[in-house]
Structure formats: structure tokens, C-alpha cells
Amino acid sequence: MKLSVPKETKLKENRVSITPDVVKDLVKKGFEVQVESGAGVNSFFADEAYTAAGAQIVSDKNKIYSDADVVLKVNAPSSEEIAKMKKDAILMSFMWAATNPELVDACVKAGISSFSMDAVPRISRAQKMDALSSQANLAGYKAVIMAADTLGKIFPMMTTAAGTIRPSKVVIFGAGVAGLQAIATAKRLGAVVEVSDIRPETKEQVESLGGKFIEVKGDSSVKMEGGYVKGVSDEFLKAQQELVSKHVKEADIVITTALIPGRKAPVLVTEDMVKSMRFGSVIVDMAVEQGGNVVGSELNKTINKNGVTIIGEGNIPSLLPMNASDLYAKNIQTLLYHLADKDKFKWEMEEDITKGSLITHNGSAVHTSLKKA
């Protein structure tokens, strides 16, 4: 089976789907691997490293798609690139299928099967395949570092002969994977950390990391599915905003991480809340690519509103490409080994991981979320 690793073309994308270490293992298992020339350069993996690991370097972008039995990517290819793939070939990448109907249609028309890394179910035996978590972990860390670099003061309390510096206060919305890593990082740097999450069961995790939990009483509108928040009412969000507004007003840094798969990100920080913050405060909107948690945040821009800096970086894991690529490569490798051997895919259609991550197959959209739509 021939695996192809194209160079990522999305704006500001520095990651690569497969690293030389993973190539070495794939070749040992009997797979043939071809890598587009320069695919790993932005992640600091040279073509020579891939060649030494047993991969073939290909400079022809058309060939990297047309020759492949399986295309392995971080971001999904364009419709034009998908059209170059041979019928019955297989794509494995992030797809966000519920909000990308054109991508799904392109896969159906090309007659290819596709597996989405963001659709891998959150079950214990799929943890090593969970690319959402591996990337969110890094993003949570980096978000705090970005905020610290922008803030005009230090995080920890410091006593000097000239006086005592009070610790910075960080407010984090969301105690998922990214939020928990942000809590841990901010605490290690010496900040006072307060956390809001609509799931009361996260309180214990927040407190175990040294954060203070801002408790909002849940209601029946909060819908959970597979470890994700699938829905919440506008009334609940309003109640949450009212409770946390005073904490935001006193914060030096606010980091928002709330996402609802397949839907626009919920608004958590209103324009009035931004206006209430101290001059020189910093906000990092980690949900900006899905519409943003913060009113006024702009995708891939850092802006200043009323003296408050709002960072809207849309692809934070890409700012740590060595680690992000290494973890993602192991995620996709583990999923590939689960689905196939060197000769063929197993197509165990009722198996949980296969069923959960398979988007298109045999000329049809097969994922349950797309059938519902």
C-alpha cells in the first residue's frame, strides 16, 4: 500500500502529517511512503531525514495525489486536489465534515473513502488516535505563553526592595483539554487562575491543578455527547456571562477555549465585558476560527480595543510545529494501524472507531452526522 504525504497549503500551516520517525516504522511494517519535497521543512524535518527513514521524495504535486492508495494530511486537500486522487483511494485528515459540505461532495464525486481525524470517537481505546486532544494540549500551553509575552507585567508575585508585585490574574473559559493545559501552564508561571465551565464535573479537575472554579448552575439545555458539549441555550449563556463578568473585569488575561462541534462557537465575552477590562489586559480567543468566543476578535489578527489586546490566532498548534507534527503523526499512524495492514483496509463497518471516523465510502456520505443533516 502506497502512502502519500503532501505539503500542507493552508495559510499559516507549519505542521506535517507524518514525521521521519513514523516513516521508519511504516516502512518497517511494509508500507511504501512517498513525501512531497519540502513537506516537513516548516516543521524542521528535512527531505534528507525522510529519505534516510525510507521514504521516496516526490517533487510532482500531481503525482503525490494520483499515485497514492492513501493520502495522509493535517488539513483536508482542496476539491481540485481530491479530483486528482484515483477512484477508491483513501484520505485521512482533519475534515470537519459537518461544516464542510463542499469537501464531502468532492470526496463523494471522486469515489474516494475518507476518514476524519476530528471524528475519532472519544473512547478509551482510541486515546492514542485522538488528534483533537494532542493538538489542543499544545494550543492551551501556547495560548498562555502568547498572552504572557503580550502582557506588560509578570505572572508571579514578587517581593523586591522597591515593593511587592501582585500576581497576575488569569480567567479561563472552558476546562477541556486546552483549558486544563492553560490552567496548568498559568499556575506554573505563578498566576492566580479562575476557571468557568458549564460542566460541573470539571470542578474537581480545575481545583486539582490549583485553579478556582467559577460555578454556574447547569440546566437541561446543556447537551453532552461523547465528551463534547453539543448544545446550550442562549439563556444559559447569558446567565454564565453575568456571573463571570466581574471576574473578567478584574482579569489581566482572559483565555477562551469553548467549541461546539459542527456549530458556531458560543459568545462568552461580550463587547461590554471587553470594555470593562483594565487598560493593558490581554484576551486570547482560541475559538476564533469557528466564529470566536469574544465579540470583536478577528481571525489571524491581533487587535487593540479600548486598550485591551485581543489575539485571534486561528491555528495555535502550528506555532509549535515540531511537537504538533510529532504528536499528530503518531495519532494518524495509530489510526492507520487500527484500520489497515500493509496490503488492505479491513472495513469493519460496525466497529466503533471505523464507524465514528469514516465520512465517505463507496460514493456516499456515510457518517451519522451527515445522514442526520
Residues 144 and 260 placed together within one structural domain of the fold: yes
Residues 206 and 186 placed together within one structural domain of the fold: yes
Residue 286's CATH number: 3.40.50.720
Q: Can you list the residues of the chain whose pLDDT is less than 50?
A: 373
Catalytic residue among 21, 79, 118, 122: 122
Residues 223 and 310 placed together within one structural domain of the fold: yes
Residues 89 and 25 placed together within one structural domain of the fold: yes
Residues 76 and 201 placed together within one structural domain of the fold: no
Backbone angles phi, psi at 219, to 5 degrees: -140, 180
Q: pLDDT digit string (tens) for 168-213?
A: 999 999 999 999 999 999 999 999 999 999 888 899 999 999 999 9
Q: Is residue 124 part of a domain?
A: no
Q: What pLDDT does residue 239 have?
A: 78
Give the full edge-to-edge strand order of the sheet including 70-75. 56-58, 32-36, 2-5, 70-75, 90-94, 113-116, 358-361, 364-365
Q: What pLDDT does residue 243 have?
A: 85
Q: Is residue 175 part of a domain?
A: yes
d(CA 373, CA 337): 30
Residues 170 and 309 placed together within one structural domain of the fold: yes
CB-CB contact of 200 with 218 (8 Å): yes
Catalytic residue among 47, 69, 130, 197: 130
pTM over 0.85? The answer is yes
Q: pLDDT digit string (tens) for 31-45?
A: 999 999 999 999 999
Q: What pLDDT does residue 119 have?
A: 95
d(CA 372, CA 195): 34
**Total number of domains in the chain:** 2
199 as an active site residue: the answer is: no
Residues 35 and 165 placed together within one structural domain of the fold: no
Q: What pLDDT does residue 230 have?
A: 54
Residues 293 and 334 placed together within one structural domain of the fold: no
Catalytic residue among 56, 59, 66, 127: 127
Catalytic residue among 133, 135, 240, 333: 133
Q: What pLDDT does residue 231 have?
A: 55
Catalytic residue among 25, 78, 228, 369: 228
CB-CB contact of 140 with 193 (8 Å): no
240 as an active site residue: the answer is: no
166 as an active site residue: the answer is: no
Residues 20 and 103 placed together within one structural domain of the fold: yes
134 as an active site residue: the answer is: no
88 as an active site residue: the answer is: no
Residues 51 and 183 placed together within one structural domain of the fold: no
Q: Which domain holds residue 332?
A: 2-119+321-362
